Amino acid sequence: MQLRLSPAVVTLLCASAAVVSALNNGLGRLPQMGYNSWYDVQMGPSAELVEATAQAMASNGLQAAGYKYINLADGIVQTTRDANGNLIPDPKFPQGFIGLADFLHAKGYLFGVYTDRGPITCGHRMGAQGNEAKDAAWYAAQGIDYVKEDSCAAPSDHQTAYAQYAAMRDGLNATGRSLFFSLCGWNEWYSPVMRALANSARIGPDDSNWNGLLVDIDDMLTLNPYAGPGAWNDPCLLLGEDQNGNAAVTELQGRFQFTAWAVLAAPLLLSQNVRNLSSYRLETYLNEEVIGVNQDIFGRQGQLLAGGHVSMAPRALNSHMARRFNGSVPDPRSVFSKKDLSVLHGRHWGSDGQAPLTLTACAAVTSQQWQWNVSAPGYLTNVATQLCANIDNCGTAIIGYTCVTSGGTCCGSSCYAGLQFFIAADGTFRSPSQPTMCVTNMGAGQQAALAPCQPGLATQQFTYDAAAQTIAQSTADGKQCLTVGTGAEAAAVIGRPLVDGSWAVAFLNAGPFPVNLTCGAGCLNQTGWEPEQVLAVRDLWAHEDLPDILASGSLSPSLPADGGVALYKLTPKFNTTIPTAE
């Protein structure tokens, strides 16, 4: 009888054959946790730093919370090799690496080092090119547990990159020692093949600042099919303050990043001065419930549930900056002029002092609070941004704009009527610059605009609440308030399923304005729960249980600007009373 194999079996056999050359070290079953020296001391790691960091992490609770790797970045070896072709530790490690590895192992840590697939590292120290097997054997003999291999001074074509990383993979496999292999290639195209090469793969540029980490979040949201136990997408390091107290991100932004990394199943590597963490940062990194999301054994990377891009500039612009600045992404405003950014369509960056005014669901956020007659008579000033309501270029669109009080405007050298507004006795919202036109709600989230006044038209009826400082309108979708921005710029809801059947759902606001970010039925529907499913809600940052919701319901936390974040665990609840048969 002739045996015929189904396509599924053929695929399985082919996949099994391909795994023969994969990295098979049994490591990385969960995303790695620990410390990385780069954003703490840059090229200055030393034996003293390692010892002080290990002691601090034991004292402040980080080690007990699961941060077990102490990884050194660039600056750890010299610019030449010894007579036998081996790497030479930098003089800042007078006893070499063996004694340091013994010290860390005795303290319960694991020890990581850094290299590059090119001939030199980013800091111009010896790289691994052509010496992968020799270097891998040397690392194993030194007692090293973790090797990160960068991509500076190396060819950029895919096949060469894969071959060079495979050479280090094979060298590490041949040592007989289990060494975690971290591939640092800076590009998303490593993700689909990383499982055959490494335990984790860097998928974007260095996250050296706020915009950089937002770029990496956007990149991660397209790569969730490829990550899981044994191989994790790596969006780079957790930012904070360096040894001199210079902060790469605010404390709130650090919590935002930690939350996103947890839901995205990303490595939790603290690249900051862990020897002197503020109480807020320490509270962030010791949150057992959030760590539990990251370390969930189901191993599913999070996905986008609602919203969109959170980065402050488009992908093409960020990619250009990453190439220009050797893997790092600076603030676009430090690189390009406002005119250039406008042409490049850099969101928020192209126009200073200007934002659309929209009608969005009312929430307790300052981007919806307005004060009359503060900047000038008749002017309407936003509390959050200090922008004034303005008829854009004497047209019909309503924007928030710098409060102009001298030099005139588009209507004349001494005319400011386009910045003056009032609510008339009939409930319409008007400007004296165009007496027959009324501010009109063009739809939720759409820019408000002037339109011919129509008596009694619901979309032209507004009220001003002096106590709440809101300009609101009642609609079929509920009360909507005049808002600077769209209410959801650079904001997203992401989530991941957990091993116990629950979901972790994170709300992220990277935008310049506070928002009331909603995950409604369409968002929750992506979990697969039936609409009538009852869900228990746990706030993982407040450490408190919230009222139950239905899967057809919604969650709408109010988030501050520039790093507002919330993280909930949603768990199905079932009626445990089983009806008896009659």
The residues, any chain, with a CB within 8 Å of residue 17's CB and separated by 6 or more, are none
Contact yes or no for 344/315 (Cβ under 8 A): no
Amino acid at 335: V
pLDDT digits (tens, 9 = 90+) for 261-314: 999 999 999 999 999 999 999 999 999 999 999 999 999 999 999 988 888 655
3-state secondary structure 55-67: HHHHHCCCCCCCC
Which stretches of the chain score pLDDT less than 50? 1-20, 342-351
Catalytic residue among 116, 135, 206, 392: 206
pLDDT of residue 291: 98
- Beta-bridge partner residues of 41: none
pLDDT of residue 9: 40
3-state secondary structure 297-325: CCCCCCEEEEECCCCCCCHHHHHHHHHHC
Contact yes or no for 433/420 (Cβ under 8 A): yes
The residues, any chain, with a CB within 8 Å of residue 4's CB and separated by 6 or more, are none
Q: Sign of the C-alpha dihedral, residues 519, 499, 536, 289?
A: negative
What is the set of domains in the chain, with CATH numbers? 35-307 (3.20.20.70), 354-484 (2.80.10.50)
CA pair distance 452, 436, nearest whole angstrom: 6
pLDDT of residue 322: 61
pLDDT of residue 3: 43
Residue that is written with structure tokens 């507002």 in the block: 564
Give the rounded distance of the alpha carbon of 199 from its chain centre.
21
pLDDT of residue 211: 83
Catalytic residue among 74, 90, 150, 562: 150
At what angle are helices 98-106 and 132-142 packed, to 10 degrees? 50
Structure tokens, 556: 């709408």
Three-class SS of residue 434?
coil
pLDDT of residue 513: 76
User: Is 218 among the residues known to form the active site?
Assistant: no
Residues belonging to the chain: 582
The answer for 187, left when phi > 0, alpha when psi is -120 to 50, beta otherwise, is: beta
The residues, any chain, with a CB within 8 Å of residue 261's CB and separated by 6 or more, are 235, 238, 267, 268, 294
Contacts 24+ apart (CB under 8 A), 401-408: 401/353, 401/354, 402/352, 402/353, 402/354, 403/375, 403/376, 403/379, 405/375, 405/376
Contact yes or no for 359/482 (Cβ under 8 A): yes
Contact yes or no for 417/411 (Cβ under 8 A): yes
Structure tokens, 9: 């079996």
Three-class SS of residue 473?
strand
- Beta-bridge partner residues of 148: 114, 182
- List of E strands, 185-241: 200-202, 232-234
Amino acid at 33: M
pLDDT of residue 8: 41
Give the rounded distance of the alpha carbon of 228 from its chain centre.
19
- Beta-bridge partner residues of 231: 228
Amino acid at 171: G
User: Is 242 among the residues known to form the active site?
Assistant: no
- Beta-bridge partner residues of 113: 147
At what angle are helices 47-59 and 98-106 packed, to 10 degrees? 10
The kind and range of the H/E element at 201 are strand 200-202
Give, in order, the Cα–Cα distances in Å from 279 to each of 55, 60, 61, 283, 419. Answer: 18, 10, 12, 6, 45
Structure tokens, 547: 């009222």
CA pair distance 557, 58, nearest whole angstrom: 35
